[in-house]
Amino acid sequence: MCGIVGYVGHRDVAGFLLEGLHRLEYRGYDSAGIAVLQNDEIKVRKKAGRVQELSSELDSNPVQSSIGIGHTRWATHGEATNENSHPHIGGNGEVVLVHNGVIENYIDLRNQLQGLGFVFKSQTDSEVIAHLLAHHLQEQVKLGEDASTKETCLKALELTTRKLNGTYGIVAMFKECSNTIICARAGSPLVIGIGKDEYFLGSDSSPLIGYTEDVVYLSDYEIAILSSDGMEIIHRDSGHQSPSIQTLKQVSADSDLGDFEHYMLKEIYEQPQSIENAMRGRLDEDEATAKFGGLNIDPQQLRKIDRIVLTACGTSWHAGLVGEYLLEEFARIPTEVEYASELRYRNPPMTDNTMVFTITQSGETADTLAAMRECKRKGHPTLAICNVVGSTIAREADGGIYLHAGPEIGVASTKAFTSQVTVLTLLALYLGRMRHLSQPAGSRIIQQLKEIPDIIRKTLKCHEAVKDISERYCHYENFLYLGRLYNFPVALEGALKLKEISYSHAEGYPAAEMKQGPIALVDEKTPSVFIVPRGNIYPKVLSNLEEIKARKGPVIAIACEGDTRIEQLADDVIYVPDVEDYLQPLVTSIPLQFLSYHIALLRGCNVDRPRNLAKSVTVE
């Protein structure tokens, strides 16, 4: 994961680096650091903790330069300490670098380098790259090369990357080679922004926004040299490349908290609007179907699809499960939902007409990207349901559907989930209308969808009730989340939300399945959150609920307004509006978002920046 930023030009670099690191903090917030070349000396400032800590460090210990690199870390190898923070210095201080990715052969390399006398200060895999780079630079110098030339530094980095197994985005500076940054990538993204006599660098485009619109996305095995003389890009095998300059699509980053205390709460409240945005311009009432601008695939081909694979991670995978139910119900296309981390290494049989959809908020999740690339390599059309415009997955997919949910900053995904479910509903309607779904059925769905933003506004009114209930349940350590059919993925999602931000243990299960084992966990100390709206199998879920009550398990029920029967069974009830079964996830997920939010607050947790997590998981 980790965020990388860099700059060479004429500005005072520290301000740009710090601002960039703040924008990249969603990729990790275990530590932050920068390095600059100041009067031909490498100066490093780094601190465990948030970028804010680094900022305070820089206030008391400032640097002055117009060339520098920076890093915000999500720890993979070694704890979140000052020593393990990037940038890392190599050798005798000849080089300094930041790294994003994972070096799989770092132990072997470390042993070899220690044998050569290199002294390690950290437990990271990244420090290995720094010493290896210094080693190759020293070797070049022994061969008579000049350490102050770009060519020598490039050669050293090229030799270094050839020894690395794993993934990397590396940005390095060299003590002797003033005014030059050299970067390389394999598997971890790097974006170069081109300004007037200046270059900007980021592990994604967010640090570049507002500085330049001309960008180059570095490809795997490319190395870029950025200096006051210009930019060169060299591919490891095919030599010099002419850069393909693209225009950065800038989205307005509404990252202001407004009156809200946390981004998570703000984003929960944004859902009427984000769901509306996901539908805007996509409902075709005349044809009783949905329409999409960017699928880039002709209807003939879509008609031939005989199987859909939805692949994603985490919350997006839960949205995929809802999508499976929707696509099979409305379009009658067999649908599989695959964890991207599994799919990338599996080799499931896929028919010629299998269509692959990746679902991702960030568009940067490493496993999702790798799974998509693997399917694309096999020749399947790959489409992305994605929120972040211009993200790696959005760029590499053959086509797709944007969520238009706006920036999601809270680490726990909320509005992206409901937007993903909304888009999947539209997709099921669209593919359904190409097949078995009649015009009246399509029209009915459209009318129901149009009412959803208002229904979500009404659902948000459960907030106060959930807050009260949270006070009674915040001390419990274990929860079960139970639902059936469309509400089974919601149960999984509710349990994930609670785990990730409150650190209470929670398991999501299909409500009937809990009899096959998990019911052994039920006692008066293990509450069950039952999602039991009216609908096709309401009585069945009620029976499951009674089974829990018979074993003294406390029950919080998410039920439909006007349901009086539930009050006699559950200990606490949260009421939500009554909607058709297929729309229930949009409604029932909302009280569960509030529940995790309030339980986390009451337990004193950092809701927007939970421990051990990052907004975007860019390592596998």
Give me the least distance between CB of 403 and ligand F6R, in Å please: 10
In the complex with ligand F6R, which residue's Cβ is closer, 84 or 616? 616
Specify whether the CB–CB gap between 245 and 218 falls below 8 A: no
Give me the least distance between CB of 312 and ligand F6R, in Å please: 6
Single out the residue of 112, 56, 47 nearest to residue 80, CA to CA: 47
Q: How far apart are CA 315 and CA 413, in angstroms?
A: 7
For 394, other C-beta atoms within 10 Å of its C-beta total 23
Single out the residue of 384, 358, 421 nearest to residue 294, CA to CA: 384
Q: How far apart are CA 22 and CA 11, in angstroms?
A: 18
617 contacts ligand F6R (rule: CB under 6 A): yes
Q: How far apart are CA 71 and CA 51, in angstroms?
A: 9
Give me the least distance between CB of 127 and ligand F6R, in Å please: 27
In the complex with ligand F6R, which residue's Cβ is closer, 31 or 315? 315
Give me the least distance between CB of 148 and ligand F6R, in Å please: 42
In the complex with ligand F6R, which residue's Cβ is closer, 277 or 362? 362
412 contacts ligand F6R (rule: CB under 6 A): yes
Give me the least distance between CB of 599 and ligand F6R, in Å please: 15
Give the strands of the sheet with 95-100, arranged side by side: 88-90, 95-100, 168-174, 180-186, 222-227, 230-235, 239-241
596 contacts ligand F6R (rule: CB under 6 A): no
Range in contact with ligand F6R (rule: CB under 6 A) among 67-75, 101-109, 312-320, 428-436: 312-320
Range in contact with ligand F6R (rule: CB under 6 A) among 191-199, 249-257, 311-319, 527-535: 311-319
Known active-site residue 183 = no
Q: How far apart are CA 386 and CA 249, in angstroms?
A: 15
313 contacts ligand F6R (rule: CB under 6 A): yes
Strands 199-202 and 191-194: antiparallel
Q: How far apart are CA 492 and CA 539, in angstroms?
A: 21
In the complex with ligand F6R, which residue's Cβ is closer, 203 or 368? 368
Q: How far apart are CA 292 and CA 273, in angstroms?
A: 19
Among 28, 169, 202, 314, the residue binding ligand F6R under the rule CB under 6 A is 314
72 contacts ligand F6R (rule: CB under 6 A): no
For 498, other C-beta atoms within 10 Å of its C-beta total 26
Give me the least distance between CB of 23 and ligand F6R, in Å please: 16
- From 266, 497, 499, 615, active-site residue: 615
Q: How far apart are CA 582 and CA 136, in angstroms?
A: 60
Specify whether the CB–CB gap between 571 and 526 falls below 8 A: no
Among 413, 470, 593, 596, the residue binding ligand F6R under the rule CB under 6 A is 413
Give me the least distance between CB of 313 and ligand F6R, in Å please: 4
Which alpha helices (H) appear in 270-414, and where do they start and end? 271-279, 299-304, 314-326, 340-343, 366-377, 392-396
Q: How far apart are CA 212 and CA 239, in angstroms?
A: 27
In the complex with ligand F6R, which residue's Cβ is closer, 271 or 413? 413
Give me the least distance between CB of 26 and ligand F6R, in Å please: 10
Q: Locate tokens 């009649």: which residue?
A: 438
Q: Give, as ranges, the residues between 443 and 482 that touch ligand F6R (CB under 6 A).
A: none
315 contacts ligand F6R (rule: CB under 6 A): yes
Give me the least distance between CB of 417 and ligand F6R, in Å please: 8
418 contacts ligand F6R (rule: CB under 6 A): no
Instruction: Name residue 214's amino acid.
Output: D
Range in contact with ligand F6R (rule: CB under 6 A) among 231-239, 269-277, 308-316, 475-483: 308-316
For 544, other C-beta atoms within 10 Å of its C-beta total 23
Among 500, 507, 563, 608, the residue binding ligand F6R under the rule CB under 6 A is 500
In the complex with ligand F6R, which residue's Cβ is closer, 579 or 617? 617
Known active-site residue 474 = no
Give me the least distance between CB of 577 and ligand F6R, in Å please: 24
Give me the least distance between CB of 315 and ligand F6R, in Å please: 3
Q: Give, as ranges, the residues between 477 and 496 that touch ligand F6R (CB under 6 A).
A: 496
- The closest residue (CB) to ligand F6R is 314
Give me the least distance between CB of 369 and ligand F6R, in Å please: 9
Single out the residue of 70, 601, 92 nearest to residue 610, CA to CA: 601
H or E element at residue 588: helix 584-602
Q: Give, as ranges, the residues between 235 and 294 that touch ligand F6R (CB under 6 A).
A: none
In the complex with ligand F6R, which residue's Cβ is closer, 173 or 416? 416
In the complex with ligand F6R, which residue's Cβ is closer, 44 or 389? 389
Residue-wise DSSP of 527-554: -EEEE--SSTTHHHHHHHHHHHHTTT--
- From 2, 153, 386, 605, active-site residue: 2
In the complex with ligand F6R, which residue's Cβ is closer, 233 or 312? 312
Q: Total residues at the site for ligand F6R (CB under 6 A)?
A: 15
DSSP tag of 520:
G
Single out the residue of 600, 618, 599 nearest to residue 609, CA to CA: 600
For 550, other C-beta atoms within 10 Å of its C-beta total 10
Residue-wise DSSP of 340-364: HHHHTT------TTEEEEEEESSS-
Q: Give, as ranges, the residues between 148 and 187 that touch ligand F6R (CB under 6 A).
A: none
Burial class (CB in 10 A: 0-12, 13-18, 19+), 35: buried
616 contacts ligand F6R (rule: CB under 6 A): yes
In the complex with ligand F6R, which residue's Cβ is closer, 372 or 446? 372
Neighbouring C-alpha atoms within 13 Å toward the C-beta of 70: 36
Contacts 24+ apart (CB under 8 A), 208-213: 208/248, 209/23, 209/248, 209/250, 209/253, 210/250, 211/16, 212/248, 213/247, 213/248, 213/250
Among 122, 188, 316, 502, the residue binding ligand F6R under the rule CB under 6 A is 316
Q: Give, as ranges, the residues between 338 and 377 that touch ligand F6R (CB under 6 A).
A: 360-362, 365, 368
The residues, ordered by sequence, that sit 6+ positions from 276 with a Cβ below 8 Å of its Cβ are 453
In the complex with ligand F6R, which residue's Cβ is closer, 368 or 504? 368
H or E element at residue 98: strand 95-100
In the complex with ligand F6R, which residue's Cβ is closer, 386 or 570? 386
422 contacts ligand F6R (rule: CB under 6 A): no
Give catalytic residue positions.
2, 615
Residues in touch with ligand F6R (CB under 6 A): 313-316, 360-362, 365, 368, 412-413, 496, 500, 616-617
